[in-house]
């Protein structure tokens, strides 16, 4: 029986399922309930040797996992941005989207995304929840600072210390501004407690994870950095080179060459922003803690490089070094 190629256009209410044969002929293309059993039943009437593709989106990874576990299919996640660029028509329908996915996997041009296992996806959710709390804390602090600027008040040089908070209680703010500031400070206290609770949970989640424990042994890496790298990168050996890892983290220059002009156009505009921010913050620490990266920073300064370029270069070089450390220092456990 010939191989089948299946494109799954995912929606919460239903999934458009397109089935192609090896020559690209449409065997079926219809909408089915968002349940792996219904999808498998729709395809099985044509055959059992299946390679499927589904665009990465909320809920798609869970469906892909279920199909992998219960159907025996080969299931790939597709990058939605690159798939959209491949389309030959500005029109968008579920029928055409499912067909395009099936055709891309048939000809081997599917832009694939790594399907993280459930344990890593769960860790990623907790890490991102902490990031949301930290962002909320930053937003509240900015709102308090805005109230002080409006009242033309300036506190001690080190904000958000105990001394600064005591000064804030006694600051001559207008009545309503004082009330708002007090409410925001109460929120900050609750957020601090919630962040501590999340970090304790993260510690318990990675207690038996060899990859995260290895990261924690390295200079400049603490709990938050380690769990962020583990959650967003996953396993290091899914990259072929350190350059690929650095590019995934968004700290490599983007090539903007054309004809005789050879140029870079800043860092690539891709990857997870929180992951890149974490790597950049690690580079700042390493330039102060580690002699190797301090010397590298000095070399770039001597060549007249701007500080932002130096930080990006250290981030790039450190990730390549980290890749080889993680590859050669340990055998990663199967996740």
Provide DSSP, 88-155: S-S---HHHHHHHHHHHHHHT---EE----HHHHHHHHHHHHHHHHHHHHHHHHHHHHHHHHHTT---
Low-confidence ranges of the chain (pLDDT < 70): 1, 256-265, 328-335
- Residue 332 has a pLDDT of 44
Determine the 3-state secondary structure of 3 from DSSP.
coil
19 φ, ψ (degrees, to nearest 5): -115, 125
Q: How many CA atoms lie within 13 A of 72 on its CB side?
A: 5
SS3 84: helix
CATH code of 4-113, in short, is: 3.30.420.140
- Integer Rg of the chain from CA: 25
Domains of the chain, by residue range, sit at 4-113, 118-205, 211-329
Torsion over CA of 248, 252, 258 and 263, rounded to 10 degrees? 170
Alpha-carbon distance 183 to 210, whole Å?
43
Token output for 334: 């199967």
Supply the pLDDT for residue 184: 97
Share of the chain above pLDDT 90, in %: 80
């Amino acid at each position: 029986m010939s191989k089948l190629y299946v494109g799954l256009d995912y929606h919460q209410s239903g999934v458009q399922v397109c089935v192609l044969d090896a020559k690209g002929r449409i065997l079926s293309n219809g909408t089915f309930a968002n349940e792996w059993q219904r999808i498998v039943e729709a395809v099985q009437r044509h055959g059992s040797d299946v390679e499927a593709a589904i665009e990465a989106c909320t809920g798609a990874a869970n469906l892909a996992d279920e199909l992998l576990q219960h159907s025996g299919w080969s299931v790939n996640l597709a990058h939605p941005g690159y798939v959209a660029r491949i389309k030959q028509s500005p029109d968008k329908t579920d029928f055409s989207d499912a067909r395009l996915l099936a055709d891309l996997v048939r000809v081997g041009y599917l832009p694939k995304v790594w399907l993280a296992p459930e344990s890593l996806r769960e860790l990623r959710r907790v890490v991102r929840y902490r990031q949301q709390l930290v962002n909320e804390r930053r937003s509240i602090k900015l709102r308090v600072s805005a109230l002080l600027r409006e009242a033309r008040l300036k506190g001690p040089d080190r904000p958000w210390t105990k001394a600064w908070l005591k000064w804030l209680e006694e600051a001559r703010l207008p009545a309503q501004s004082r009330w708002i500031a007090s409410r925001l400070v109460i929120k900050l206290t609750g957020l601090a407690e919630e962040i501590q609770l999340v970090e304790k949970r993260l510690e318990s989640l990675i207690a038996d994870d060899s990859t995260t424990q290895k990261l924690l042994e390295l200079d400049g890496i603490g709990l938050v950095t380690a769990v962020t790298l583990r959650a967003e990168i996953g396993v290091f050996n899914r990259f072929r080179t350190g350059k690929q890892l650095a590019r995934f983290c968004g700290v490599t220059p983007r090539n903007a060459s054309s004809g005789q002009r050879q140029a870079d156009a800043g860092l690539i505009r891709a990857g997870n922003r929180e992951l890149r921010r974490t790597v950049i913050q690690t580079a700042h620490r390493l330039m102060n803690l580690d002699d190797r990266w301090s010397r590298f920073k000095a070399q770039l300064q001597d060549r007249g490089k701007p500080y932002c370029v130096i930080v990006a270069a250290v981030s790039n070089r450190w990730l390549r070094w980290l890749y080889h450390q993680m590859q050669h220092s340990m055998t990663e456990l199967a996740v």
